């Protein structure tokens, strides 16, 4: 029984799946498509919302250093992802890599864990999309009523109770339909959105630089203290722990680059294009993040982030301190909505492709790998995840699903880092289009940095992860072990 739990899927079999293009997913993506896919997933809620939260609660202006720490952790994981993607260019991302290195049980754990990253990530950002839609509508003196744009667990300052978040459900439905239409069409829309939002980010950096107030960056690393937020939650503020805490918070801003690896079976020349897409999108976004956070914390003060600015700190900073740039504040709101849309698109895309691969392995029902006869996309999977993600988006508060997304992603990164090290030992002869440098040092550092950020997320999030994994074990031992194709072949 134990041997079957850790039976690995042969690399040869994985490569046969890659070569079976006549009955599989349609290959239509290029290296440029993958870079924009990665940027589309990365730049969104993390940059425009979590930057202000990390500055207010954890690090002040040294949130910039938090971005650097988070970027370093992602870089280590990204190098490991790039080697796996060039060696095993199969849809499924960390799930597939784990199946080939650490066996079926670990693969199941990571596949189940990826639901936290992709599905709940899409739910988190769709809730933020709903909030910013109301901000945009506010420019036209209208809005969606509170009760129809918030979950039942939320109450306004006027005592109005939320019922369901209809705008969040709407954007998930719209993007799910686009994904059913096809990867190339989805990538084209995503590329247009990426160009627009990156342009706005660059404009803010360029114009905002001259409005930086040196007093807002003094001291750059605040003295270590404890800050209690409006909800009564204490945070380590300032010093080294503040920077590490900020890294854990802004880590959400980096989620998505690994979604590039889920596009393996829809990519032309995947062994070269996948490493370029993964590392290229990560490098571009890290540079933009560092510059953006430096300018934002220089233009607005720490008190602004804690009081009147909060999640809308970018538009607040422009309207308050950048005289003559009111037009930029409106463009930022539009860019945020566009950015959120592309993030949701890539998250839904990645989720359906992971379960597509798991279904072909027999670990989840066949319905997840049924392809549309015309579009050759897993349309039933897209519809099922529309329903699943929609429930969370409509009825669960944003902070809960956001934290679950972060811890699930960090766990996936740790397993991928370990997997590269294992494969170097077990199968050094396999051809690799890209080789992670300094193995085992880089994988070890990836595990340690991501583990440190998990530690920083606190016991409440650890508990949610354990509960989610417990549910996953029940599903695995009641369904997956009976339907696993690899297990039946080995019987």
pLDDT at 396: 74
16 falls within a domain: no
Q: Which two tokens stand for residue 259?
A: 């979604």
Is residue 24 included in any domain, yes or no?
no
Structural domains of the chain, count: 1
pLDDT means over runs of 10, the chain (491 residues): 67 64 58 77 72 84 90 86 76 74 85 81 84 84 88 79 90 89 67 80 92 92 80 75 82 72 68 79 88 92 76 78 87 82 82 85 87 80 90 76 73 86 84 84 90 76 84 91 79 56
The string of pLDDT tens digits covering residues 349-375 is 888 888 888 888 888 888 888 887 777
pLDDT at 22: 46
Does a structural domain hold residue 353?
yes
Q: State the DSSP string of 223-243.
A: PPEEEE-TTS-EEEESHHHHH
Domain membership flag for residue 18 = no
Decide if 11 is inside a domain.
Answer: no
20 located within any domain: no
pLDDT digits (tens, 9 = 90+) for 152-202: 877 777 788 888 999 999 999 999 988 888 656 666 776 777 788 888 889
Q: Domain of 71: which CATH number?
A: 1.20.1740.10
The secondary structure element, H or E, covering residue 452 is: helix 441-456
Tell me how far CA of residue 477 lies from CA of 23, 92, 363, 364, in angstroms.
Answer: 30, 21, 10, 12
Q: With the C-alpha atoms ordered 320, 326, 330, 332, is the resulting torsion angle positive or negative?
A: negative
Residues 6 or more apart whose CB falls under 8 angstroms from that of 188 comprise none
10 within some domain = no
Expressed as residue numbers, the domain containing 87 is 31-485
């Amino acid at each position: 029984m134990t041997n079957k739990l850790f039976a690995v899927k042969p690399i040869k079999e994985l490569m046969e799946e890659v070569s079976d293009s006549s009955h599989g997913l349609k290959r239509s993506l290029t290296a440029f498509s993958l870079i924009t896919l990665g940027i589309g997933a990365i730049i969104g809620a993390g940059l425009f919302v979590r930057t202000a939260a990390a500055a207010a609660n954890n690090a002040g202006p040294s949130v910039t250093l938090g971005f650097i720490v988070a970027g370093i952790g992602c870089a280590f994981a990204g190098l490991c992802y790039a080697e796996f993607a060039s060696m095993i260019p199969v849809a499924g991302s960390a799930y597939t890599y784990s199946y080939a290195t650490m066996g079926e049980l670990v693969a199941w754990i990571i596949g189940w864990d990826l639901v936290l990253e992709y599905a709940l990530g899409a739910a988190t950002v769709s809730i933020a999309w709903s909030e910013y839609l109301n901000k945009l509508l506010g420019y036209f003196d209208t809005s969606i009523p509170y009760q129809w744009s918030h979950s039942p667990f939320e109450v306004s300052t006027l005592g109005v109770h939320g019922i369901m978040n209809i705008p969040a459900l709407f954007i998930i439905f719209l993007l799910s339909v686009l994904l059913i239409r096809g990867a190339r069409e989805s990538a084209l829309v995503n590329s247009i959105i990426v160009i627009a939002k990156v342009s706005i980010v660059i404009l803010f950096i360029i114009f905002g630089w001259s409005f930086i107030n040196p007093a807002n960056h003094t001291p750059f690393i605040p003295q270590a203290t404890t800050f209690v937020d409006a909800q009564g939650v204490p945070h380590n503020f300032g010093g080294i722990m503040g920077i590490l805490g900020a890294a854990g918070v802004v880590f959400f801003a980096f989620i998505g680059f690994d979604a590039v690896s889920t596009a393996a079976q829809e990519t032309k020349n995947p062994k070269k294009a996948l490493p370029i897409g993964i590392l290229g999108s990560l490098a571009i976004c890290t540079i933009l993040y560092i510059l953006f956070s430096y300018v934002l914390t220089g233009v607005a003060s720490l008190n602004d982030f804690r009081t009147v600015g909060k999640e809308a700190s970018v538009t607040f900073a422009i309207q308050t301190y950048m005289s003559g740039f009111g037009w930029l504040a409106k463009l930022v709101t539009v860019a945020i909505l566009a950015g959120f849309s592309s993030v949701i698109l890539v998250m839904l895309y990645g989720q359906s492709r992971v379960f597509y691969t798991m279904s072909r392995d027999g670990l989840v029902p066949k319905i997840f790998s049924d392809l549309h006869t015309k579009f050759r996309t897993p349309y039933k999977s897209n519809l099922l995840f529309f329903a699943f993600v929609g429930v969370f988006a409509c009825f669960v508060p944003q902070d809960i699903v956001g934290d679950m997304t972060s811890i699930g992603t960090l766990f996936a990164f740790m397993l991928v880092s370990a997997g590269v090290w294992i494969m170097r030992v077990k199968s050094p002869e396999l051809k690799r289009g890209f080789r992670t440098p300094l193995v085992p040092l880089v994988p070890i550092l990836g595990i340690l940095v991501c583990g440190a950020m998990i530690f920083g997320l606190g016991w409440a999030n650890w508990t949610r992860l354990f509960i989610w994994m417990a549910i996953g074990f029940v599903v695995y031992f009641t369904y997956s072990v009976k339907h696993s194709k690899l297990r039946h072949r080995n019987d």
